[in-house]
């Protein structure tokens, strides 16, 4: 039997090509392509095969409505996520966070100390970076951290499947910071925790916000070999 599965090399190329997109073209993604991406992403593992993810996927006027509501909320109300945000990024996590933040700011021309510029770039989160679609991801509250973990796998699956379909994407915890608004507007039941959103569409490749790439740590930094 011939092995028709993609090689690790081919998969590595797909992983390397994916990156978070922060400027999209307004062109819609055909619904069949979105369905194909979802059907591919759902093949990730989950504890007990519970498949706890649910997505509310917006297109067209609904994306516009969501964008407008988020932008208004970001100018006014405080943030109120279902899943508490990290309390601190220390040590290497702090430096990686800072490095990717600076890479973005440098790409879009925001200088150190330019608070208005960084606030403007932060607000791009709530305009969904111009994406024509947004998928809001939730997990049953009673599954706790493990439900969130399974959904994290789904996020990886979705973003990689999207890349393979020529669709750019970005996971966004920032959107989940307005959980009450999302529950209300998208009729997501209160017993489901909103974890993040994934904005997606076709990349605007010439936009400065898409002009940088993040790096990854050396294997020794995260692997402890025994035996």
Ligand X SMILES: Cc1cc2nc3c(=O)[nH]c(=O)nc-3n(C[C@H](O)[C@H](O)[C@H](O)COP(=O)(O)O)c2cc1C
Q: Which residues bind ligand X (CB under 6 A)?
A: 19-20, 100, 125, 155, 170-174, 196, 214
Closest contact distance (angstroms) between CB of 178 and ligand X is 11
Closest contact distance (angstroms) between CB of 216 and ligand X is 8
Identity of the residue, 1 or 37, whose beta carbon is nearer to ligand X in the bound complex: 37
Dist CA 88 CA 193 (whole Å): 21
Is residue 14 classed as helix, strand or coil in its secondary structure?
Answer: helix
The vertex-159 CA angle with 14 and 188, nearest 5°, equals 170
In which residue are the tokens 């509310």 written? 56
Dist CA 59 CA 29 (whole Å): 9
Identity of the residue, 47 or 89, whose beta carbon is nearer to ligand X in the bound complex: 89
Identity of the residue, 91 or 224, whose beta carbon is nearer to ligand X in the bound complex: 91
Closest contact distance (angstroms) between CB of 212 and ligand X is 8
Asked if residues 122 and 226 have their Cβ atoms less than 8 Å apart, the reply is no
Identity of the residue, 5 or 88, whose beta carbon is nearer to ligand X in the bound complex: 88
Query: Which region holds residue 109: left if phi is over 0, alpha if psi is between -120 and 50, else beta?
Result: left
Closest contact distance (angstroms) between CB of 193 and ligand X is 13
Identity of the residue, 31 or 120, whose beta carbon is nearer to ligand X in the bound complex: 120
Q: Residue 215 corresponds to which tokens in the numbers above?
A: 């790096």
Dist CA 167 CA 13 (whole Å): 15
Identity of the residue, 115 or 226, whose beta carbon is nearer to ligand X in the bound complex: 115
Closest contact distance (angstroms) between CB of 19 and ligand X is 4
Asked if residues 101 and 25 have their Cβ atoms less than 8 Å apart, the reply is no
Closest contact distance (angstroms) between CB of 152 and ligand X is 7
In which residue are the tokens 């993604």 written? 29
| Nearest residue to ligand X on Cβ basis | 174
Where does 81-151 show beta strands of DSSP type E?
133-140
């Amino acid at each position: 039997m011939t092995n028709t599965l993609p090689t690790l090399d081919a998969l590595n190329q797909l992983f390397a090509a994916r990156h978070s997109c922060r400027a999209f073209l307004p062109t819609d993604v055909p619904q069949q392509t979105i369905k194909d991406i979802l059907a591919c992403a759902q093949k990730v593992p989950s504890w007990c095969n519970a498949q706890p993810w649910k997505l509310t996927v917006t297109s067209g006027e609904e994306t516009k409505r969501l964008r407008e509501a988020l932008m208004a909320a970001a100018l006014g109300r405080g943030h109120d996520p279902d899943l508490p945000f990290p309390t601190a990024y220390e040590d290497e996590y702090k430096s990686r966070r800072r490095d990717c933040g600076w890479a973005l700011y440098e790409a879009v021309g925001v200088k150190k100390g330019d608070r208005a510029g960084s606030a403007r770039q932060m607000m791009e989160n709530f305009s969904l970076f111009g994406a024509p679609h947004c998928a809001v991801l939730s997990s049953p509250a009673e599954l706790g951290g493990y439900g969130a973990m399974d959904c994290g796998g789904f996020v990886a699956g979705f973003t990689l499947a999207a890349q393979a379909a020529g669709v750019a994407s970005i996971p966004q915890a920032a959107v989940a910071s307005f959980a009450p608004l999302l529950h209300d507007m998208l009729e997501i039941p209160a017993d489901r925790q909103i974890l993040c959103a994934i904005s997606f569409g076709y990349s605007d490749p010439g936009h400065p916000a898409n002009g940088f790439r993040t790096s990854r740590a050396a294997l020794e930094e995260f692997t402890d070999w025994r035996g």
